[in-house]
């Protein structure tokens, strides 16, 4: 299982949100320093989110993301406000390894097909966020009519092979990851699932690893020093 320490960026700062709520923000400092910190602890892949971009539909923190890409020499995946083919190309050209398409998966699925055809399945990731059994879009502030599993199947049929799957009810809450829903997503769609939301302990990582999931995002737990990246890697060896 691959671990993805998260660097969520809001107004140029590294933050964590509680339950995806922009009114419940904890600020942790400089995003570039945070990225370097996780790499120093042994991170092999980073998960970056432009939270302003997710909310506003455009890349607000792109200059910070380019700085991270210049400083760290490991793969990066990036989500938030990536809506067009030019957005995707710009991010990939800046040094980002994979881009995550979230709202676009629901609102403009044709672009997902185009992106996979042009850039390849290794470089495009679906971001599926679940809230009360439905897919949430636009920075988690709106809900669609689709179930996350239906959307996952659709994305697989378009050629996607990776999904960041977030249970918003658990995100930033350290209450434990929703292992069953992650397993269901993998089983029903065929996608490689990167579990996101609620990883609060090393036991959560053990539970995900035991189900042979592809990856897990480390967020608030590492920022609040529940464990570090080095310890997490030891657990899933």
Can you name the residues that pair with 142 across neighbouring β-strands? 137
Task: Tell me how far apart the alpha carbons of residues 122 and 135 are, in angstroms, rounded to a whole number.
Answer: 23
Specify whether 204 is catalytic: no
Task: Tell me how far apart the alpha carbons of residues 188 and 134 are, in angstroms, rounded to a whole number.
Answer: 16
Instruction: Give how far Cα 206 sits from Cα of 21, 83, 211, 218, Å.
Output: 28, 35, 9, 13
Specify whether 129 is catalytic: yes
Active-site option among 50, 129, 167, 204: 129
CB 194 within 8 A of CB 217: yes
CB 163 within 8 A of CB 125: yes
Active site residues: 8, 129
């Amino acid at each position: 299982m691959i671990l993805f320490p998260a660097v969520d960026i809001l107004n140029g700062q590294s933050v964590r949100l509680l339950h995806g709520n922009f009114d419940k923000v904890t600020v942790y400092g400089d995003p570039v320093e945070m990225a370097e910190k996780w790499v120093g602890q042994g991170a092999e892949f980073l998960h970056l989110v432009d939270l302003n971009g997710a909310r506003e539909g455009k890349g607000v923190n792109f200059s910070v993301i380019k700085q991270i890409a210049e400083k760290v020499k490991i793969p990066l995946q990036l989500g938030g406000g990536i809506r067009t083919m030019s957005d995707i190309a710009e991010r990939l050209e800046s040094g980002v390894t994979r881009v995550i398409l979230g709202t676009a998966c629901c609102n403009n699925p044709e672009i997902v097909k185009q992106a996979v055809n042009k850039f390849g399945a290794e470089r495009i990731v679906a971001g599926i966020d679940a809230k009360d059994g439905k897919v949430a879009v636009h920075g988690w502030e709106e809900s669609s009519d689709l179930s996350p599993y239906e959307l996952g199947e659709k994305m697989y049929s378009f050629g996607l092979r990776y999904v960041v799957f977030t249970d918003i009810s658990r995100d930033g809450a350290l209450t434990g990851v929703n292992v069953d829903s992650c397993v269901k997503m993998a089983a029903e769609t065929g996608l490689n699932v990167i579990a996101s939301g609620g990883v609060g302990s090393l036991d959560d990582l053990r539970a995900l690893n035991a189900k042979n999931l592809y990856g897990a995002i480390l967020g608030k737990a590492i920022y609040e020093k529940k464990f570090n990246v080095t310890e997490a890697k030891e657990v899933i060896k």
